[in-house]
Structure 1
Amino acid sequence: MARVVVDSPLPQLDRLFDYAIPDELAAAAVPGVRVKVPLRSAGRMLDAFIVEVGEEDAADRPLSPLDEVVSPVEVLPASLHTLVRRVADRAAGSASDILRLVIPKRMVRAEKAWLAREDDTDADPVPAPALEAARGVLDAFPTLREKLAAGERVAVSAPPRTVAVDAAPGEAPRTVGAWAVLLASAAIETLAAGRSAVLVVPDHRDQAQLEAALADRVDGDFLVRDDARRSGPERYAAYLRVLSPRPCIVIGNRSAVYAPAHDVGLVALWDDSDPLLAEPLSPGVHARDAALVRQELEGCALLFAGHTRSTDVERLVGIGWVTEVRAARPARPRVVLSATTADDAPGRRVPSVAYAAAREALAHGPVLVQVARPGYAPSLVCAECRRPARCAHCGGPLRANRRGAVPVCGWCGLSAADWRCPHCRSDRVRMGSSGSERTADELGRAFPNTRVIVADGAHPVDQVDERPALVVATRGAEPVAVGGYRAVLLLDADRMLQADDLRTPEHCLRWWSNAAALAAPDAPVHLVAVAGPVARALATWSQPAYARGELAERAPLLMPPVARVARLEGPLAQVDAALIALRSDVPDLPDEAVLGPVAQQDDTGVVRALVRFDYPRGRLVAESLRASVIRAALRTRSRPKAAGGASRAPGNTLRVRLDIPDPEL
Structure 2
Amino acid sequence: MTPADDPELLPGMARASVKASQAKARATRARKAAEAEPTAVDPVARVLVDVPLAHLDRTFDYLVPVAMADTAVPGARVKVRFAGQDVDGYVLARGAESDHTGRLTPLRRVVSPEPVLHPAIAALAGELAERYAGTRSDLLRLAVPQRHATTEKEPSPPAGPWQHDPAAGETAWVDHQPGPAFLRHLTTGGSPRAVWSAAPATDWPLLVAHAAAATHASGRGVVICVPDGKDVARVDRALIAVLGEGQHVTLTADAGPARRYRDFLAVSRGARRVVVGTRAASFAPARDLGLVVIWDDGDDLHAEPRAPYPHTRETLLLRAEQEGAGALVGGFVRTVEAAYLLRTGWANQIAADRAEVRRRVTVQIAGEESDRTRGGARIPREVHLAVREALESGPVLVQTPRVGYVNVLACERCRTPARCEVCQGPLALSGPAVPPSCRWCGTVDEAWACRECGHRGLRAPVLGDARTAEELGRALPNVRIRTSSGDTVLALVSGAHQVVVATPGAEPVAEGGYAAVVLLDTWLLLSRIDLRAEEEALRRWADAAALVRPGGRVVAVGDPAHPALQALVRWDPAGHAERETDERLAAHLPPASRLATITGEPGAVDDAVTLLAAPASAEVLGPVDLPEGESRVVVRVPRAEGADLSRALGELQRLRSARKLDAVRIQVDPPTL
Length-normalised TM-score, structure 1: 0.89
Corresponding residue for residue 62 of structure 1: 103
Which deviations, in whole Å up to 9, do the C-alpha atoms of 1:510-551 show, x marking residues without a partner? 111111111122222111122221111111111111111011
Change (3 A) 1:311 1:599: same
For 1:614, the aligned partner's letter is P
* Deviation of the 1:311 alpha carbon: 0.6
Residues 1:561 and 2:591 aligned together: yes
Instruction: Decide whether the 8 Å contact of 2:197 with 2:332 is kept in 1.
Output: yes
Which deviations, in whole Å up to 9, do the C-alpha atoms of 1:557-586 show, x marking residues without a partner? 21222212100123445434443444x452
Quick one: distance in 1 between partners of 2:375 and 2:133? Answer: 54
3-state SS of paired residue (1:522):
strand
Task: Write 1 or 2 for the structure with the bigger share of helix.
Answer: 2
Instruction: Decide whether the 8 Å contact of 2:419 with 2:426 is kept in 1.
Output: yes
Instruction: Decide whether the 8 Å contact of 1:104 with 1:235 is kept in 2.
Output: yes
Select the residue among 518, 525, 546 that pairs with 1:489: 518
Corresponding residue for residue 386 of structure 1: 415
Quick one: distance in 2 between partners of 1:220 and 1:396? Answer: 54
3-state SS of paired residue (1:389):
coil
Corresponding residue for residue 660 of structure 2: 636
Quick one: distance in 2 between partners of 1:433 and 1:521? Answer: 32
Which deviations, in whole Å up to 9, do the C-alpha atoms of 1:24-69 show, x marking residues without a partner? 22221111011111112xx222111111111232643222221111
Quick one: distance in 2 between partners of 1:330 and 1:383? Answer: 47
Instruction: Decide whether the 8 Å contact of 1:629 with 1:655 is kept in 2.
Output: no
3-state SS of paired residue (2:598):
strand
Select the residue among 155, 158, 168 that pairs with 1:133: 168
Gapped regions of structure 2 (runs ≥ 5): 1-43
3-state SS of paired residue (2:242):
coil
Instruction: Decide whether the 8 Å contact of 2:297 with 2:331 is kept in 1.
Output: yes
Larger displacement relative to structure 2 (261-270 or 52-61) = 52-61
Quick one: distance in 2 between partners of 1:4 and 1:343? Answer: 66
For 1:83, the aligned partner's letter is L
Select the residue among 320, 336, 341 that pairs with 1:295: 320
For 1:159, the aligned partner's letter is A
**1:280-359 equivalences in 2 (<5 Å):** 280-327=305-352, 330-332=356-358, 333-339=361-367, 347-359=376-388
Quick one: distance in 2 between partners of 1:61 and 1:421? Answer: 78
Instruction: Decide whether the 8 Å contact of 2:333 with 2:574 is kept in 1.
Output: yes
Quick one: distance in 1 between partners of 2:423 and 2:51? Answer: 37
Which deviations, in whole Å up to 9, do the C-alpha atoms of 1:187-221 show, x marking residues without a partner? 11111221111110011111111112122332332
Quick one: distance in 1 between partners of 2:352 and 2:390? Answer: 29
Which deviations, in whole Å up to 9, do the C-alpha atoms of 1:107-158 show, x marking residues without a partner? 11111223xx5x346x212x24x44312322344323224545212211111
Corresponding residue for residue 622 of structure 1: 646
Instruction: Decide whether the 8 Å contact of 2:64 with 2:72 is kept in 1.
Output: yes
Instruction: Decide whether the 8 Å contact of 1:269 with 1:303 is kept in 2.
Output: yes
Larger displacement relative to structure 2 (295-304 or 94-103) = 94-103
Corresponding residue for residue 653 of structure 1: 663
Select the residue among 167, 191, 215 that pairs with 2:216: 191
Change (3 A) 1:456 1:29: same
Instruction: Decide whether the 8 Å contact of 2:158 with 2:272 is kept in 1.
Output: no
Corresponding residue for residue 244 of structure 1: 269
Quick one: distance in 2 between partners of 1:545 and 1:58? Answer: 56
3-state SS of paired residue (2:112):
coil
Gapped regions of structure 1 (runs ≥ 5): 163-177, 638-651
Larger displacement relative to structure 2 (228-237 or 58-67) = 58-67
Instruction: Decide whether the 8 Å contact of 2:92 with 2:119 is kept in 1.
Output: yes
For 2:402, the aligned partner's letter is R
Instruction: Decide whether the 8 Å contact of 1:554 with 1:562 is kept in 2.
Output: yes
Instruction: Decide whether the 8 Å contact of 2:282 with 2:312 is kept in 1.
Output: yes
Change (3 A) 1:571 1:192: same
Corresponding residue for residue 25 of structure 2: none
Select the residue among 124, 136, 153 that pairs with 2:161: 124
Quick one: distance in 2 between partners of 1:30 and 1:120? Answer: 24
**1:473-512 equivalences in 2 (<5 Å):** 473-512=502-541
For 1:548, the aligned partner's letter is E
Quick one: distance in 2 between partners of 1:418 and 1:49? Answer: 65
Corresponding residue for residue 565 of structure 2: 535
Quick one: distance in 2 between partners of 1:394 and 1:561? Answer: 42
Corresponding residue for residue 41 of structure 2: none
Aligned-residue Cα RMSD (Å) equals: 2.3
For 2:636, the aligned partner's letter is R
Instruction: Decide whether the 8 Å contact of 1:364 with 1:468 is kept in 2.
Output: yes
Residues 1:7 and 2:37 aligned together: no
Corresponding residue for residue 125 of structure 2: 84
* Deviation of the 1:432 alpha carbon: 3.2
Instruction: Decide whether the 8 Å contact of 1:340 with 1:352 is kept in 2.
Output: no
3-state SS of paired residue (1:315):
helix
* Deviation of the 1:631 alpha carbon: 1.6
Quick one: distance in 1 between partners of 2:70 and 2:93? Answer: 14
Instruction: Decide whether the 8 Å contact of 1:581 with 1:624 is kept in 2.
Output: no
For 2:367, the aligned partner's letter is A
Select the residue among 622, 641, 647 that pairs with 1:596: 622
Quick one: distance in 2 between partners of 1:321 and 1:364? Answer: 44
3-state SS of paired residue (1:636):
coil
Instruction: Decide whether the 8 Å contact of 1:341 with 1:351 is kept in 2.
Output: no
Which deviations, in whole Å up to 9, do the C-alpha atoms of 1:339-375 show, x marking residues without a partner? 2599999520122222111111111211111101111
3-state SS of paired residue (1:229):
helix
Instruction: Decide whether the 8 Å contact of 1:340 with 1:351 is kept in 2.
Output: no
Change (3 A) 1:366 1:634: same
3-state SS of paired residue (2:276):
strand
Quick one: distance in 2 between partners of 1:455 and 1:634? Answer: 50
Larger displacement relative to structure 2 (138-147 or 20-29) = 138-147
3-state SS of paired residue (1:113):
coil
**1:383-532 equivalences in 2 (<5 Å):** 383-417=412-446, 423=452, 429-531=458-560, 532=562
Select the residue among 254, 276, 279 that pairs with 2:301: 276
Which deviations, in whole Å up to 9, do the C-alpha atoms of 1:88-123 show, x marking residues without a partner? 111111111111012111111111223xx5x346x2
Change (3 A) 1:429 1:585: closer
Change (3 A) 1:413 1:60: same
Residues 1:73 and 2:117 aligned together: no
Quick one: distance in 1 between partners of 2:319 and 2:201? Answer: 31
3-state SS of paired residue (1:633):
helix
Quick one: distance in 1 between partners of 2:49 and 2:479? Answer: 60
Instruction: Decide whether the 8 Å contact of 2:61 with 2:98 is kept in 1.
Output: no
For 1:124, the aligned partner's letter is P
Instruction: Decide whether the 8 Å contact of 2:492 with 2:510 is kept in 1.
Output: yes
Instruction: Decide whether the 8 Å contact of 1:37 with 1:66 is kept in 2.
Output: yes
Quick one: distance in 2 between partners of 1:189 and 1:630? Answer: 44
3-state SS of paired residue (1:550):
helix
3-state SS of paired residue (1:260):
coil
For 2:161, the aligned partner's letter is D
Select the residue among 126, 147, 162 that pairs with 1:106: 147
Which deviations, in whole Å up to 9, do the C-alpha atoms of 1:357-410 show, x marking residues without a partner? 111111121111110111111222244543333344444433221113133333
For 2:590, the aligned partner's letter is P
Residues 1:368 and 2:397 aligned together: yes
Larger displacement relative to structure 2 (412-421 or 508-517) = 412-421
* Deviation of the 1:441 alpha carbon: 0.3
Between the aligned residues of both structures, percent identity stands at: 38
Instruction: Decide whether the 8 Å contact of 2:78 with 2:91 is kept in 1.
Output: yes
For 2:170, the aligned partner's letter is R
Change (3 A) 1:160 1:299: same
Change (3 A) 1:138 1:56: same
For 1:179, the aligned partner's letter is W
